[in-house]
């Protein structure tokens, strides 16, 4: 029996708080899970700094990746049972695509680094490009497992990640406005953060999902389940992913890494006992895949603990603020009040803070849903509903709810600053320096005025 068709004698299951059971039926999938590159995802949190706001959010990229695999497996089962291809080009499901879809689903996040997006921003890494490198590099265990299917198979799986795979059904399972990736992380993040508004009817959505020649669509009878998913995603971004304290901790983390990089560049002896050796290739902008795969959240956290004892007071203080959860405060600003930020920074500097490391601006915006626009830099695949006569209609044209938020960015811009600017103290004595009063005069509630 060809390796790619080999099924386990008895399917293996992983107990999961979101999907109850995750069913592993192919030996190939089990072998991929057991690679060192995939096991590394156990040591990278799915939500990064959000766990410092929502204490239950300790779940990892590992658990999310298994969840995306499981949803994709269920989609394939539904398609094969209800929409199997009858002849070439009929737009129905060819189950020979199952294995590449399952592998792409399982491995779609394997290139994420520690603290994911913050690390990516500081060191100019690209987790999707690194995912492709892990899949295609002959030095990785993942590549060796994939090559056991065929020499071309690693590139085929990688092309799903790159969205160049010739079958749009497979690509849209993993990457579209309603895909296995988004559906799992919304449900999983809602579960672990203890929130309810991120939930939606996954079973119903999978039931009304169907293939067609240009990708995946949904039966119009399931429109309300799809609406519920869109609204749940909107609410999760506003309440969880854009939470100001989580963003504040990201700012501190970003500045902590920047300061460590600056100290490294200035140091005459780069081999001190507490030197972050595993970060040197990133400080020098000359890392390779092996360097990248040595890093995880625990690696960085260990360095932060060392830096808390640093002779550099800024590095030590930022490490303390991150490890001991001492977030910066923040206020919203808009196009009119943005002009006041230089004055606020001047007052903060006068109070004794280095504004390079103790202030920042951050904007977080999300587009809950957008109809396809070929002129966009990265046009999205719109959600199509199939009517009873087989004709397709775009979701926002028949849903007043989705139409109301289509094309409308939601989020805010914030200015971050030390909490001490609001309640400055020396010991247990509050200070009433005019600098602090002048700073506070520019703020009202949650806004710069």
Summarize the confidence of residues 426-444 as an average pLDDT. Answer: 78
Residue 236 pLDDT greater than 50, yes or no: yes
Summarize the confidence of residues 375-395 as an average pLDDT. Answer: 81
In which band, very low, low, confident or very high, does the pLDDT at 267 lie, cut at 50, 70 and 90? confident
Q: Give the integer Cα–Cα distance in Å for 321 and 311.
A: 16
* DSSP character string of 118-137: HHHHHHT--HHHHHHHHHH-
Is residue 410 helix, strand or coil? strand
Task: Provide the pLDDT for residue 412.
Answer: 87
- Summarize pLDDT for 126-138 with one digit per residue, the tens: 999 999 999 999 9
In which band, very low, low, confident or very high, does the pLDDT at 259 lie, cut at 50, 70 and 90? very high
Task: Provide the pLDDT for residue 198.
Answer: 82
In which band, very low, low, confident or very high, does the pLDDT at 413 lie, cut at 50, 70 and 90? very high
Task: Provide the pLDDT for residue 1.
Answer: 39
Task: Provide the pLDDT for residue 32.
Answer: 98
In which band, very low, low, confident or very high, does the pLDDT at 431 lie, cut at 50, 70 and 90? low
Residue 372 pLDDT greater than 50, yes or no: no
In percent, how much of the chain has pLDDT > 70? 92
Q: Give the integer Cα–Cα distance in Å for 167 and 178.
A: 17
Task: Provide the pLDDT for residue 257.
Answer: 95
Q: Out of 68-82, 172-186, 366-380, 413-427, which region has the weakest mean confidence (pLDDT)? A: 366-380
Task: Provide the pLDDT for residue 5.
Answer: 57
* DSSP character string of 157-211: HHHHHTT--S-HHHHHHHSSSS-HHHHHHHHHHHHHHT-STT---HHHHHHHEEE
When the pLDDT of each residue in the chain is averaged and rounded to a whole number, the result is 91
Task: Provide the pLDDT for residue 373.
Answer: 46
- Summarize pLDDT for 7-31 with one digit per residue, the tens: 999 999 999 999 999 999 999 999 9
| Nearest residue to 170 (alpha-carbon basis) of 161, 313, 250 | 161
Task: Provide the pLDDT for residue 151.
Answer: 97
Residue 409 pLDDT greater than 90, yes or no: no
Q: Give the integer Cα–Cα distance in Å for 107 and 137.
A: 14
Summarize the confidence of residues 384-409 as an average pLDDT. Answer: 89
Question: In Å, what is the CA distance from 216 to each residue of 100, 246, 290, 405?
Answer: 17, 35, 37, 22
Task: Provide the pLDDT for residue 2.
Answer: 46
Task: Provide the pLDDT for residue 326.
Answer: 97
Summarize the confidence of residues 384-413 as an average pLDDT. Answer: 88
Summarize the confidence of residues 134-160 as an average pLDDT. Answer: 98
Q: Give the integer Cα–Cα distance in Å for 132 and 264.
A: 30
């Amino acid at each position: 029996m060809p390796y790619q068709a080999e099924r386990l004698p008895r399917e293996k299951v992983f107990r999961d708080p979101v999907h109850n059971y995750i069913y592993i039926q192919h030996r190939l999938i089990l072998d991929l899970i057991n690679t060192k590159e995939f096991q590394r995802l156990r040591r990278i949190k799915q939500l990064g700094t959000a766990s410092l706001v929502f204490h239950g959010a300790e779940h990892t990229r590992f658990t999310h990746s298994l969840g995306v695999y499981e949803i994709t497996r269920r989609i394939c089962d539904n398609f094969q049972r209800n929409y199997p291809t009858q002849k070439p080009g009929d737009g129905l499901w060819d189950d020979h695509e199952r294995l590449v879809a399952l592998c792409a689903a399982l491995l779609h996040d394997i290139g994420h680094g520690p603290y994911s997006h913050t690390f990516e921003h500081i060191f100019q890494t690209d987790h999707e490009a690194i995912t492709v490198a892990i899949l295609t590099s002959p030095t990785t265990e993942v590549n060796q497992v994939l090559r056991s299917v065929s020499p071309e198979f690693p590139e085929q799986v990688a092309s799903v990640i790159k969205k160049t795979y010739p079958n749009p059904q497979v690509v849209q399972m993993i990457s579209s406005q309603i895909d296995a990736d988004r559906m799992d992380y919304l449900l999983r993040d809602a579960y672990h953060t203890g929130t309810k508004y991120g939930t939606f009817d996954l079973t119903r959505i999978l039931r009304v999902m169907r293939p067609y020649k240009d990708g995946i669509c949904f039966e119009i009878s399931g429109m309300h389940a799809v609406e519920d998913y869109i609204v749940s995603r909107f609410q999760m971004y506003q309440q969880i992913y854009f939470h100001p304290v989580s963003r504040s901790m990201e700012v501190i983390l970003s500045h902590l890494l920047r300061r460590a990089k600056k100290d490294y560049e200035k140091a005459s002896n780069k081999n001190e006992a507490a030197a972050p050796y595993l970060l040197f290739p990133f400080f020098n902008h000359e890392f390779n895949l092996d360097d990248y795969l040595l890093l995880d959240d625990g690696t960085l956290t260990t360095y932060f603990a060392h830096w808390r004892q640093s002779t550099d007071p800024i590095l030590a203080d930022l490490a303390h603020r991150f490890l001991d959860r001492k977030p910066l405060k923040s206020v919203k600003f808009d196009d009119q009040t943005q002009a006041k930020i230089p004055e606020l920074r001047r007052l903060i500097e006068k109070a004794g803070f280095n504004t390079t490391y103790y202030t920042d601006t951050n904007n977080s915006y999300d587009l809950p849903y957008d109809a396809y626009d070929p002129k966009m830099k990265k046009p999205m695949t719109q959600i199509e509903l199939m009517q009873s006569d087989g004709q397709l209609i775009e979701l926002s044209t028949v849903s007043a709810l989705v139409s109301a938020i289509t094309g409308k960015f939601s989020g805010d811009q914030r200015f971050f600053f030390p909490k001490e600017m609001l309640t400055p103290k020396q010991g247990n004595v509050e200070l009433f320096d005019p600098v602090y009063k002048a700073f506070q005069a520019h703020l009202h509630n949650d806004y710069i005025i």
